[in-house]
Structure 1
Amino acid sequence: MRVVIARCSVDYQGALEAHLPLATRLLVVKADGSVLVHSDGGSYKPLNWMAPPCSMAQVAPDEAEREEGVEQVWVVSHAKRDDTLRVRLHEVIHDTSHELGIDPGLVKDGVEAQLQALLAEHIHTLGDGFTLLRREYPTAIGPVDILCRDPGGATVAVEIKRRGDIDGVEQLTRYLELLNRDPHLAPVQGVLAAQLIRPQARVLATDRGIRCVTLDYEALRGLDDAGSRLF
């Protein structure tokens, strides 16, 4: 990866035209060929960029550019589209390259698969007397995350999400409609279990007779005792 801090202007030509006037910016050239132009604000998103497949060439500034004080020019061209990024560097403040190696990728903690395994292990989170029947219960439209029974022996289908929204309620509704056709399971109740449940999803779930349960990931892992908290 090459990291350059420079006073530069940037022009993009392609599906549209865009211009970044002269300012101090961070330029990132990655091993995959991508080039990103960042400012010291605007969160993580670059001001402009060229995604791979692309190639970058450093060319001499033309006469007009030299008169403006341009020291070097980067021309970044996309390999499959007629898109060009022209970066005019007036002053290079910092220029360094680093070999980062192969990245192992992002390991997410608290993903739905982990929540499913933890809830299956601690099925009493849904209430005293609940018993697990099966994880990933197969149906014609996909597997139900958890199938269990409540203390009264009724079947309960549980849909697990990190963030419970309307789509999750709709998905569970489809499962319930299908499961309730099976006389060995019916009547089947529904539970939407998530770390965060959006208000609109909670309203829709309540309207459809679906119970909402908020999951505490740390408590399920045994790292936090929710009952002992002061707040």
Structure 2
Amino acid sequence: MDNLVEIKNNHVVVSTIQIADKFEKQHKDVLRLTSVKLRSSNGDRLLQHFFKTTYTDEKGEQRPMYLMDRDGFCFLVMGFTGEKADKWKLDFIDAFNAMEAKLNQQQQSTLAYDKYISLLDDKFKLPSFGQKRKTEPWVKLDNPEFRSILNEVKNNLTTINTLLKYFDRRYLPCAEYSSYFLSIDRMEMNLSCLLTAMEGITFETISASEIERIRQSNT
């Protein structure tokens, strides 16, 4: 299933190049079929599943092709018949399933990280870039309890990232597949508990003038 599908703009897609290659068809014929489908009476409904782009051919020239999501793929190839065609349909479906699972885990990891950053923003009232900070107080981050929780958060994120790398394999035993998902779920639960604990920490603040004085003394 390697390289049958890819991730583009957070969507799992397949190209007409791949379809032509695996189903043993001329790319121009797959392009023509796609264009016919998109110009049909149902074209408006299909447009959301297809994206026209280009690729570089062997001569270094730009040529047209289409990218499509799972629904677009299923619609386009449903007319392909034969045992070999059926085999490739199933292979592509398996590839979509695997890549979508990988994308979902990446998104879950990103959401956990975003939640962590959002909590810091709320906790410390961090200003946006460009906002003036000449008079507002600063938060002292040398709190031992905060440092301890922060290290645990980092370790959890590192563990999640390590677990996600296992899904880059072509094959994975069913037992391991289930255990990895359970491990990731546990890590995400740990993160939630750590972030909740962080909310209860009391931080000291330091004035902007004192920060400036420290900076000047260190120069």
Q: TM-score range by the shorter chain?
A: under 0.3
**TM-score with structure 2 length normalisation?**
0.24
Q: Which has the larger radius of gyration?
A: 1
Answer 1 or 2: which has greater strand percent.
1
**TM-score with structure 1 length normalisation?**
0.23
Bigger RCO (CA 8 Å, 6+ sep): 2
Answer 1 or 2: which has greater helix percent.
2
